[in-house]
Structure 1
Amino acid sequence: MNRSVLGREGFWNAVFLATTIALLLLNGVGLIYGITIVLPHFLYIPVVIGAYRFPRWGTAAAGCIGGVYLVMVLLITGGSPPLLNEALVRVGLLIVIGWLVALLTRRLGEQEDLYRGLFDHSEGGSLLIVVTGARRVVGEVNWKAASLVGRKRSALRGGPLTAFWDPGEESAFFSRLSRGGAVYETETIFSLPDGAPLIVQVSAASLRGGRVILTFFDITARVHAEQALKTANDKLNFLARISADHLQRTVDEIRATVDEAAAHDGGAGFQAYFGRIRVLAGTISRQLVLTESYKDLGTSPPVWQNVQRALESVHLPVDAGTVRVRFWAKRLEIYADPLLVDVLAHLVRNPFRFAGSVTEILVRYQETGDGLALLVEDDGQGIPTAEKKQIFEYDAGEHAGIGLFICRQILEVTGMTIEETGIEGQGAQFVIHVLPGGYRIEGSGDDAPATRLHGVLDAPGLSVRELSSAEFPIAEAVWVEYHQMTGDPRTDRVFAAFQDGQVVSLARCRRHPDGLEVDGVFTLIVHRSHGYAHAVVSALVEACGRELLFMYAVRDLVGFYGRYGFVPIDEHQLPPTIRERYAWAQGQMEGANVCPMRRDPLG
């Protein structure tokens, strides 16, 4: 119980005691001077206060007050029959009033407890709104409402609804409420502190005294799922329509070819007709493959999917051993149709079919100002500029684009887009654009929970990979020997080299508000001089190198980092939040044996 409640309780207890004593004394003086009619009425005051404050003991308290008054009448007046009878009646009235007030108070308390229980413990957000003219403020708020809108209860109390509700929508809602007295299940949008939309279903009813009770539920996930399913259904109808049209057209071509062949009586030309029929049959086969590809589109709602696991499940061609394939998406999760894994599989396998002499395939991601870009790159022959948009069309290259066409349809179910941005002759680069809210980094917050750590970390031998958030404590155990550094899943990507399942070297990329910083490059002493530091820095640069990178390097290691594109810069070229880390050097980086460096994006 907080101090304000204790203070209020103490105040009313003091009022009850003070009025009881004062009014009994006043009645005693009145009895001495023969005032027996007016003053006893004042005893109703402590009786009402006592019954209201202590409803369980209200009747007893009234009886005690009445009993003391009766004793005073007997002692002071000598038990005069008229006065005694009047006192007995008055005591009876005091007891009845005390009992009645206590009963009503208990009933009121039960109703308040019921209301409080429903209000405070409801799984829906509840707000008690106080309306004064055109102004509407939050009078009371339950924990669920505060949690849903991402604010503290204390910050919401007394504040306007427009702190999280668009003024126009709020005004229109309360106009409807004033006309009908109640509004049920209206969909609207609240704003979270970071500006993200919260889609809610709101109901409200007017109460007496210029108050309104408003309840709401978060339906963001449901609305997104409904939108995704509608989009998928529209695409299924579209795909079914074009499939039927193309199949019918192909069948008509086969019939025409057969009729044309029948019109010629034998001859060498028959082979040409049969060749055309084989080509048309192959076209039907590809169209049936298309139908098989999209038959499951939209049959299940979108779900959060770990991109790394999806990529690692892709079955590569048997001759893929000559191609270096790296996936840097360990903690990335995307909200998409379950067929996302087929999209990724197609993009990863594509270079083996069309890229020519491909030697490496790289998948990585980059957060942008308008969401996230997931990149699938190779070093093959690339795609001609004139074909970059055409490859996503249904009829691209005599139906060769069926796969990319379907990929685009699957991605668009949850608002994602795809384009090809590579340079012809240098390789293909497919970029999947994911909207804000359509991706999350595992372990970075309550809405992106960490995965459980289980099983063996890595197989025997050397391997390099990004750590999951659950593995950060393993890195911190190694960093104990390196300034006792720690990792934060909300801002950090940590890359580790494993030797026989044990972490031997680390490197960290930390996202600051104004740039990315590389630090925490550390190899255990007993494992140095084996190239592990090269391995982790190479992995970090490969995964994060599409963005501008900054770092502080010990001067002896400037040459080492220079191999990865880092160049020395003046201290004042560092972003402010990164420069603050070495504020203690007071602009004398060289004297601190530290050199600021940067690496420009190299694609």
Structure 2
Amino acid sequence: MDKVEKRLESFLESDSILFIFVIGFTTLFSFAIVTAGLLNGITTLLPHLFYIPVVFAAYRYPREGMILSVLVSSLYLVLVPLIMGPVPDVMINAYGHSVVIVAVGVIVSVLSFQLSREKEMYLGLLDDQNDLIAMIAGDSTYSFVNAAYCRYFDVEPGDLIGMPYREHYPPEESALLDAFFRSLNPQRPSGVLELSARGADGATRMFQWNVSGHFGEKGETLSYLSSGRDITSLRNMEEALRSSEEKFGALFSHARDGILVNELRDDLTLGPFFEMNRYTLDLFGYERDEMSTMSPLDLVVEAPAFLSEWLGQVQEGTARSFREEVMCRRRDGSEFPADVTAVAFELHGKRVILSILRDMSLRKEVQEKIIRSEELYRTLFENTGTAMLVVDDDGTIRNANNEVEKTFGYRKEALLSGSMRVGDIVVPEERHGTIGTFSAQGMISGGSSGEMRLIDASGMYRDTFYTIARIPGTSQRILSIADQTGTRQGSLLLAAVNEINQAVVYERESSVLIDRVCKEFAALNEYYVIAVSPLEEGRLTALTPSVSSLEEMHASYLYAGGGAYRAARSGLVEYDEWPAADDGGEPPLQVINFPMIADEEIIGAITAYLRPRVSITDPEIDTLQALANDIGFAIRSRRLEEEKLEALEQIEKNIEQLSIINDHIRNPLQVIVGYAVLDDWEHTEKVLGQAEEIDRIINRLDQRCLESSKIREYLIRHSGIHSGDHPR
């Protein structure tokens, strides 16, 4: 039954001469039967035969089908009075049949047209994917492949449709595929398989296939939808790690993923872990000795349902790895989701399982946010999509969606007034060329695309990318516009951030580093004016901003004690406004202050002045805040180094002065002792005793001086300070 349905569907979808012949034959056959019936006085039942060619034609050729229905009904209306005569009842019946024939043709044509559009839209979405996507029918033949799949194997879609998928894979991998497909069932309709495939260039690459099976009511296989992602680089990295034991050990111990290795016994039971990295112990809260007595099942809330089956496949050699999300349990009883990848391989003659797990707690939160964002995006896309205009041949705007007003600020009432054209929102210097270009492109049946600059409702120039295409059956065009202004602004910021990060690494002096930062920020003067203000003794120092002509304005802003000081006190991003330097009627500058934080210490603030009609995105704000913290940390590090150098210099001075003082004390002391010995008087013993006490004190000072010298040597040896360095 399924084969009959597939053949019928294939026949209905084809553009073959046979199909056209069938339409023509059934049309002539229907007229012959109806004519014979009219000659015999039959007027009610036989006209229904006209539905057959009309439905066939309307289903495959919607527009021609409607024409055929009108033509058939018209010929029928001509045929009836010629044979039966102008009998009122007969003519009324004929008119009724004609209306029904036309209605059937129109309804089937409209439904067929909508079905074709939905199918093209769905196939277009699959065709645009970078992953290799293939639909495999229940008889193991291709029923659909996307463009990426065809590019990889350098074939045309028509060459693959109906061909068995096994012809693209070696016999051993075909067997693995067959076993994997057989493992899918209505209870476990999807799975992941890693398989290599040789491309048209002769190179063999590894793909991770996500396969979803579709089953009928009785459990029979209808089709498999497989999506393959190239993971060759990942597998090559694993091979490189295994080839170097020393490098593997370093990566293993410092990896930020949990890595565990345990033995797979011959009876398919999981042995205890004999290797795990430090991160795993910290993640689960166990000591190494404790975890060495545990197996993977002791760390999970519930074992994956397919684990036993997979272990059996590993033993048979038909499977090697899997990836699954599993709920794990820590020592304290708390649970967390983890992305677990398990790989089975031979190690020293034993079969072992390498498990790599990643804590998905944070990712789950991010994924939930992404899902909510995607749901919101889908809702907006379904209802509004991108900014889109419907225009006449002369550019007059006839329709616009809500996204146009949201993106460019133009109210829909103004756009649809009938007097506004696309050229009215294009920048004047490019208006003539742009309108001429996409007017010509709109004549192309498949549509075209390009770039143009628009003016939004506030007067700001916008860089956009447009796609234009003619609406079938009309003289109007659909114009889709995507705003790219923020992307180009962000590229300038990214370039400056990269240069500043280089300076943070290589500049050793805090003053030179700050000068370099200001210099790199100067590249943003088209969109941003940025100034760095270090915090010294509770006050922000006004340095020259990236645009030197605004130095006085920046100093005035800091003197007013506004948002920059709030940011320095709170450690949060602060927003503000400040009049433009020329104050010539321009709108005020938008000011954003980013605190420079290093180990919870405020080092200063970075102030960004945004010119009128310039926008800044949340990711750019996050980038500037992260950069401010990096600069603050670098400045603090440089200052600490300078303070250590100053401390070392002071120690050297103290040692030198202490040695001089000791010598100055000893010389007079020797004279006193000499006089006391020469003159034998009653206080000689006391004087000599006190002199000895003074000498002991001086000796202790010498000892402290020696200890200070050792401290100095320790600082030089362990703090990266050299005796020739001097604080700058």
TM score, norm. by length of structure 2:
0.29
TM score, norm. by length of structure 1:
0.34
Relative to its length, the structure with more helix (as a share) is 2
Q: Which has more radius of gyration? A: 2
Higher relative contact order (CA 8 A, sep 6+): 1
